[in-house]
Each structure stands twice: as structure tokens, then as C-alpha cells.
């Protein structure tokens, strides 16, 4: 049984002899095509996994349908990530891995963002609260804006990280800055600056701040560790 | 056998029943994540106006299990807000993987969830094999099941020991680390390394098990349940333990699924999602084991679920040791498996294969795959995208403890500062995996 095409009544088994291309397609792909005709781009089956390509702006509606509809019930968001190809002509892809626990289905949803277009996709956080950190990481590593995410800021890299987005293909493996510049920035960082402004407004820690940070805070800056 | 079976784990909120078994009362969790059936729900006292305090927990605090940093807003001792900060251990594994051949990435998987190295190696190899379109040998399949279950026991033992220390019990830590040491000795005999095993290769294993190794495994599987029983007797009905864990950090089933929790965290909330049962790999559907499921999703249920998983892993180990077939470990594919050194030095064809593999690396066809396994922390997925070159375009780790940890603000808010430690311990985080 190929994952993604499992019949809920049958017992799942370890997949064997999966073809490279083709094979049974996840029935949700056809239903997305019927329902969201213009937003549906294409669907393909690779190594037994169904990938549905959709237009970036319609991701939220499609995921909402997949999550809510009784015949789909994709209630589990496994992963949100992005892929940039080495061939710089190819579009950057944002990838959602969805699971339907009741139907034991797996679906990969992809939105292609053409080169040069702004990297924006809708956030699915209103649907899956688990998308919070996954989208933040995707923003951190690729610079993709998730519209509707309430708190989209860097997560693995620090707030003031100025070298760009590490997992983009134009980012060199060693980083953009020289080692000496990276070291200089690390040594110059103030321990107090490791609190975001939002956090400092919690308590009366404001008075203990360095003057420069108090000025920034007074200037209305929200984050900026 | 293929039908999913679940075991209800015991939970005590008000002592023991007539048979001496802990009584179970399902807890009710309100929208704010607070348990409402407790006699005195933890609420913020509005009359007692006071300054809120900012507490910085970590990143160098031993109870944060690594370099996790939690910024907590406290009202008295009650957590009002929790802002986690991660990334102190970020190494860029995914970026590095784009510059390595597939077999060269396997050592990086050791270092990501370093308590579960063999399991990561197996998961990576499964994903890469799907991408290459090869099928492993029956002996390799069973050996990988053994590796996965041993590493599940290893990881749960570290969790058990450190959680007990966090909550104030020192002895189980010593017992569990003694047992963990035995598994490390077994791994050392198998592959030569203890922590960073690099056990698998794409298409097979780094080494077959040595003669007599199975006796050591059977010996472990026979005696290890005794230690679980001892810890069980020490801890499960211990008044301090029960008082510190029940009703703490509860997540309802719907919340847990929506938050993307996986592994024991999700199952403690009553959702019987286990990748081994729902999306099987390595013939897990042919093994007879149960998936423990909790009811309340609090720290105590997570403890019970993991304790039961230890016992179930031993069952799987016993069955795997029974059925281990003879035969080759590696597939017969000159593209992927290195020829023996003697042949590479004496036969022209083998030398060419050796040269091509080492200098260029095997090339998978263009394609992509997401392969998930049930790691001790939850659903661990590896997502590969190949453009037909020997190095992946994208190698993505789906880190279970990263997603599990992202729910910590909802779990701790409304609880006491000391409960933050217990809740954080119950998530079973490994910062190497979270920060990658």
C-alpha cells in the first residue's frame, strides 16, 4: 500500500516496489481540482507520494477545505518548508506536508513562487497552531513572508542577524560576512540586548536598560533584540 | 495483528482503588490550558496587585536539557506568559547536507538528535533508499528494527533519568543510566562507536552484527524489564511524583493534534497516532506490539506512556531476535555499496565502482520524498529533493521535539514556576534536534 492512497478500512503495510513516477494518486488531488479549478496547477505522484501544485494565494482556502471537509480531514500538519533549486531559473517552492489521521492519507501541497516575485504565501497558522514555529523557521531560513502569522520573526538565527537567509542558494556555506566580522559582532552583542522589547515591557526591567535601548523602545520599536 | 490495539495506561488523581490500582478521573482542560477539575484551579488573583517579574530560565540552566531559554513573566509564582528562545545550538545541518553526498550526510544525522543516533541513521537511510528506488534485504530490515528499538530505549532512559532528577528523584537516574550503558556496549560491539554510531549506509548497514551479539541482546531483553519494574515501583505511585505531575501541562486531544504534537506527547493526550502503525515501514505491521495511549495528556500520562513504550520496545526486540534471517546485509548494487577492499585493489571493475562512488557519489533520479519514522520524540521526517546530482538539493529534517516544544507556552501558562521544569522535562526535548 502506497502511503497517501490508503483505504481507511484496510490495514496499512510497509510499502514495497514503489514506482518512481505514477501509481495510485491520493483522491484528494482530484477533489481539489474539481473544487478549486483555477487555483489548481497540477498534481503528480513521485515515489508513491502525491504532490498537488496550487497557486500561492489560494493556499489558505485549500488548506482550510482540506482541514474542515469531512471527506478529507487533514487534521495534522507535519511540516512546512521550502525548496530552492540550484537552477536559478526554477521557481522557489513552499511545501506543506499534510496528514489525515482518520483516513491515513498523506498529501504534499506545493506553491511555486516565480523568480522575482515577492516571497509571500498565506499563513496556515489560523488552521494549525503547530504551523507557528514551522513558518517562523521557513521565514528565518528562506525569507518567505507568511501573511497572517501573528508573530513572524527569526527563530533559529538571532533577531539582528544581517547576513540574509541561510538556506537560500545564493547564500554561501560559510556565511556572507568574514569570520573576523562575525566574531566582532558576537563580541559586541550586549547580554541585555538578548531580550526583545516585548519581553522588557513585561516587567519593570525598563529602568535597568542601557540608554540606547530605552530610546529605541520609546521610539516604538517592537522587536529588535 | 494489523489492527491497531491500544493499552490504557493508569492514572491516579485520588489514590488507589480496592484492587490497589490507581484510580482514573479524566481531567477537563479549559481553553486557557488550565485544568478545571482540580480542587483549586490555578488562577491569577486579581485583587493582589503586584509587579510582574521577568525571569530568564536558561540557556545555561541544567533543567532546560540543553540550551533552551525561556523568558517567563511571573505573577508571584504563577507563569503568566512564556516566550521560548531556541537556536543557540544552530549548526546549519540542512545547509551542510546540500554540499554532501548521501552517505556523507549520515554522520550529521548522529549529531542532530544525539540520544537517538541509530534511529536517525535508519530513518535517513530509509529516505535515501526511497529516493534511489532500492529495496533493502530482509536481514537488514530486521537489524534496522533492532537498531530503532534499541535507540528508542536509550532515548527514553535518558528522558526517564533526567526527568526524575528534575522532579527530585535521584535513584532512577542511576538505574536508567546503568541500563543505557549496556545498550551503548552492544552498539560498540556492533559498529565500534557508542554515541555517534553512523550505523547505516544507503542500501545496507555499516557492519553486520558480530558473532554472539544476539546473545547479548537477548540477555538485555531478558533482564531490562526488571529495571523498568523497579523504577515503576519507586516512582509510579510515589506521592511526591504523583503530586508533581498529575494535572500539570495538560493538552486535550484536539489541541495536541492541531499543534502538531507527535510521539508520546500526542499519545498521552489520547490520540493513537503512531507512525509504526499508521504509516508502517520496516515491516512494523508484522510485529506484535501495542501502542500505549493516555487520557489526560498531562505530565503523568506522558510518563506512563513512555514507561509502557519501554516494555513494548523490549517485546519488539524479542520478536526481532527470533526472526533475524541469514543472508546478506547490503543490497547487491554496485552503484551504492562499496566493493570489498580486496576486490577494489585487485579487480578493475570493482576499482572503477569504488572510484565512481567515492569521487562522484551515487546519483538518485530526479524526484522527492518525505519519509517519516516514529522516533522516541515523535514523527521524525526526512524530506529529500533531488535534481539528479549526487548531492541533495534540499535535505529537510522534520524535528519532532521542535514542534512539540512550540506548544510549551500553552502548557505552562497558568502553572507554577516549578511546574515549568516538570513540563519541559516531559516534552523530552533534545536541543541538537531543535536547533539543528
DSSP string, B325-389: --S-SS-S-TTTSPPPHHHHHH-HHHHHHHHIIIII---PPSEEEEEEEEETTEEEEEEEEE-SS
For chain A, domain boundaries: 1-156
Judge: A202–B73 Cβ closer than 8 Å, yes or no.
yes
Q: Is B63 on the interface with A (CB under 8 A)?
A: no
C-alpha to C-alpha distance for B88 and B69, rounded to whole angstroms: 9
Share of chain A above pLDDT 90, in %: 35
Q: How far is CA B385 from CA A121, B258, B261, B356, B360, in A?
A: 21, 27, 25, 22, 18
Q: What tens digit of pLDDT does each residue of B330-339 get?
A: 998 888 888 8
Chain B neighbors of A85, CB-CB under 8 A: 385, 387, 393
pLDDT band at A206 (very low <50, low <70, confident <90, very high): low
The answer on pLDDT for A105 being more than 60 is: yes
Superfamily of domain A1-156: NADH:ubiquinone oxidoreductase Nqo5 subunit (3.30.460.80)
Chain A CB contacts of B385 under 8 Å are 83, 85
Q: Reply yes or no on whether the pLDDT at B215 is more than 60.
A: yes
pLDDT the model gives residue B12 = 40
Q: What is the mean pLDDT of chain B?
A: 85
Instruction: Answer yes or no: do A157 and B52 touch at CB < 8 A.
Output: no
User: What's the DSSP call for residue B29?
Assistant: B
> Cβ contact (<8 Å) for B71 and A157?
no
In angstroms, the CA A54 to CA A73 distance is 19
Whether B365 sits inside 8 A of A101 (CB atoms) is: no
List, as ranges, residues 64-93 from B with C-beta within 8 Å of A.
71, 73, 81, 83, 85-87, 90, 92
For an interface test with A, the pick among B2, B73, B85, B431 (most A C-beta atoms closer than 10 Å) comes out as B85
pTM of the predicted model as reported, rounded to 2 decimal places: 0.86
Higher pLDDT, A8 or B260: B260
* Closest to A96 (Cα-Cα) out of A88, A84, A105, A106: A106
* Amino acid B75: pLDDT: 81
Q: pLDDT (tens digit, 9 = 90+) per residue, B68-89?
A: 888 888 888 888 888 888 888 8
Q: Is A128 within 8 Å of B387 when comparing Cβ atoms?
A: no
Across B369-390, average pLDDT: 92
What band does A20 get if pLDDT is binned at 50, 70 and 90?
confident
Task: Of A125-129, B18-22, B53-57, give the lowest mean pLDDT range.
Answer: B18-22
**Residue A14 to residue B278, Cβ atoms within 8 A:** no
CB-based contact A135:A155 (threshold 8 Å): no
Q: What's the start-to-end Cα distance of chain A, in Å?
A: 50
Residues of B in contact with A77 (CB under 8 A): 260
User: Is the model's pLDDT at B403 over the cut of 90?
Assistant: yes
Cβ distance A76 to B273 less than 8 Å, yes or no, reads yes
Is B96 touching A (CB cutoff 8 A)? yes
Shortest Cα–Cα distance, B156 to chain A (Å): 23
CB B401 within 8 A of CB B435: no
Task: Please say whether the dihedral angle defined by the alpha carbons of residues B3, B148, B225 and B273, taken in this order, is positive or negative.
Answer: negative
Give me the percent of chain B exceeding a pLDDT of 90. 47
Q: Are B317 and B149 in contact (CB under 8 A)?
A: yes
Model ipTM over 0.90:
no
**How confident is the model over B312-349, as pLDDT tens digits?**
999 999 999 999 999 899 998 888 888 888 888 898 99
The pLDDT value given to residue A197 = 62
Query: For residue A93, how far is the Cα from the chain centroid?
Result: 10
Q: In CATH, what number does B6-15+87-331+399-435 get?
A: 1.10.645.10
Buried b (16+ CB within 10 A) or exposed e, A184-213: eeeeeeeeebbbbbbbbebbeeeeebeeeb
Instruction: Output the pLDDT for position B30.
Output: 62
Cis peptide before B86 (omega within 30 of 0): no
Show me where the domains of chain B are located.
6-15+87-331+399-435
Which of B279-283's residues contact partners 24+ apart within 8 Å by CB, and which partners? B279/A3, B279/A12, B279/A104, B279/A106, B279/B372, B280/A12, B280/A13, B280/A14, B281/A14, B281/A15, B281/B126, B281/B371, B281/B373, B282/A14, B282/B122, B282/B126, B282/B141, B282/B144, B282/B145, B282/B148, B283/A14, B283/B141, B283/B145
CB contact under 8 A, B2 and A13: yes
Amino acid at each position: 500500500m502506497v502511503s497517501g492512497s490508503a483505504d481507511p478500512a484496510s490495514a496499512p503495510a510497509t510499502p514495497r516496489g514503489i514506482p518512481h513516477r505514477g501509481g495510485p494518486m491520493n483522491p484528494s488531488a482530484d477533489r481539489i481540482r474539481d473544487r478549486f479549478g483555477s487555483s489548481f496547477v497540477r498534481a503528480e505522484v513521485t515515489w508513491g507520494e502525491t504532490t498537488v501544485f496550487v497557486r500561492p494565494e489560494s493556499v489558505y482556502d485549500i488548506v482550510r477545505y482540506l482541514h474542515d471537509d469531512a471527506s478529507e480531514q487533514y487534521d495534522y500538519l507535519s511540516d512546512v518548508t521550502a525548496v530552492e533549486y540550484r537552477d536559478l531559473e526554477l521557481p522557489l517552492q513552499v511545501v506543506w506536508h499534510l496528514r489525515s489521521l482518520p483516513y491515513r492519507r498523506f498529501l504534499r501541497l506545493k506553491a511555486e513562487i516565480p523568480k522575482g516575485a515577492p516571497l509571500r504565501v498565506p499563513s496556515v497558522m489560523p488552521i494549525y497552531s503547530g504551523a507557528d514555529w514551522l513558518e517562523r523557521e521557513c521565514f528565518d531560513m528562506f525569507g518567505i513572508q507568511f501573511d497572517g502569522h501573528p508573530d513572524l520573526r527569526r527563530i533559529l538565527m538571532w533577531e539582528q542577524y544581517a547576513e540574509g537567509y541561510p538556506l537560500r542558494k545564493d547564500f554561501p556555506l560559510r556565511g556572507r560576512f568574514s569570520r573576523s566580522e562575525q566574531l566582532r559582532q558576537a563580541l559586541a552583542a550586549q547580554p541585555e540586548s538578548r531580550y526583545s522589547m516585548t519581553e522588557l515591557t513585561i516587567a519593570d526591567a525598563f529602568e535597568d536598560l542601557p540608554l540606547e535601548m530605552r530610546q529605541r523602545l520609546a521610539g516604538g520599536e517592537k522587536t529588535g533584540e | 495483528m494489523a489492527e491497531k490495539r491500544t493499552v490504557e495506561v493508569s492514572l491516579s488523581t485520588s489514590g488507589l482503588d480496592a484492587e490497589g490500582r490507581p484510580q482514573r478521573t479524566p481531567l477537563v482542560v479549559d481553553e486557557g490550558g488550565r485544568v478545571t477539575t482540580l480542587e483549586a484551579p490555578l488562577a491569577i488573583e486579581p485583587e493582589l496587585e503586584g509587579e510582574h517579574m521577568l525571569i530568564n530560565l536558561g540557556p545555561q540552566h541544567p533543567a532546560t536539557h540543553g540550551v533552551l531559554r525561556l523568558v517567563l513573566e511571573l505573577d508571584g509564582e504563577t507563569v503568566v506568559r512564556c516566550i521560548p528562545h531556541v537556536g543557540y545550538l544552530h549548526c546549519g545541518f540542512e545547509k551542510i547536507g546540500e554540499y554532501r553526498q548521501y552517505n556523507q550526510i549520515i554522520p550529521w544525522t548522529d549529531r542532530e538528535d544525539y540520544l537517538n543516533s541509530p534511529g536517525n541513521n535508519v530513518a535517513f537511510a530509509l529516505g535515501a533508499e526511497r529516493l534511489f528506488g532500492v529495496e533493502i534485504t530482509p536481514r537488514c530490515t530486521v537489524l534496522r528494527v533492532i537498531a530503532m528499538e534499541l535507540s528508542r530505549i536509550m532515548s527514553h532512559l535518558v528522558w526517564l533519568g533526567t526527568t526524575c532528577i528534575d522532579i527530585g528523584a535521584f535513584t532512577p537516574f542511576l538505574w536508567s543510566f546503568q541500563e543505557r550503558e549496556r545498550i551503548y556496549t552492544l552498539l560498540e560491539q556492533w559498529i565500534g562507536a557508542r554515541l555517534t554510531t553512523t550505523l547505516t549506509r544507503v542500501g545496507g548497514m555499516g557492519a553486520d552484527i558480530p558473532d554472539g551479539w544476539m546473545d547479548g541482546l537477548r540477555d538485555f531483553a531478558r533482564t531490562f524489564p526488571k529495571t523498568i519494574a523497579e523504577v515503576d515501583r519507586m516512582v509510579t505511585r510515589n506521592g511526591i511524583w504523583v503530586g508533581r505531575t498529575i494535572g500539570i501541562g495538560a493538552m486535550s486531544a484536539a489541541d495536541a493534534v492541531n499543534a502538531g504534537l507527535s510521539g508520546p506527547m500526542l499519545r498521552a493526550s489520547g490520540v493513537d497516532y503512531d507512525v509504526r502503525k499508521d504509516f508502517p515501514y520496516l515491516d512494523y505491521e508484522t510485529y506484535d506490539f501495542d501502542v500505549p495511549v493516555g487520557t489526560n495528556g498531562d505530565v503523568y500520562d506522558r510518563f506512563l506512556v513512555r514507561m509502557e513504550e519501554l516494555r513494548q520496545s523490549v517485546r519488539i526486540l524479542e520478536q526481532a531476535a527470533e526472526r533475524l534471517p541469514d543472508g546478506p546485509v547490503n543490497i547487491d548494487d554496485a552503484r551504492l555499496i562499496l566493493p570489498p577492499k580486496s576486490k577494489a585493489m585487485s579487480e578493475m571493475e570493482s576499482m572503477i565502482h569504488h572510484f565512481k562512488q567515492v569521487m562522484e557519489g551515487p546519483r538518485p533520479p530526479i524526484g522527492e520524498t518525505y519519509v517519516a519514522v516514529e522516533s522516541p520524540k515523535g514523527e521524525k521526517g526526512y524530506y529529500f529533493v533531488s535534481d539528479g546530482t549526487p548531492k541533495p538539493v534540499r535535505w529537510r529534517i522534520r524535528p519532532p521535539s521542535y514542534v512539540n516544544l512550540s506548544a510549551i507556552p500553552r502548557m505552562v501558562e497558568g502553572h507554577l514556576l516549578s511546574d515549568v521544569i516538570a513540563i519541559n522535562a516531559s516534552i523530552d526535548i533534545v536541543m541538537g534536534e531543535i536547533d539543528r
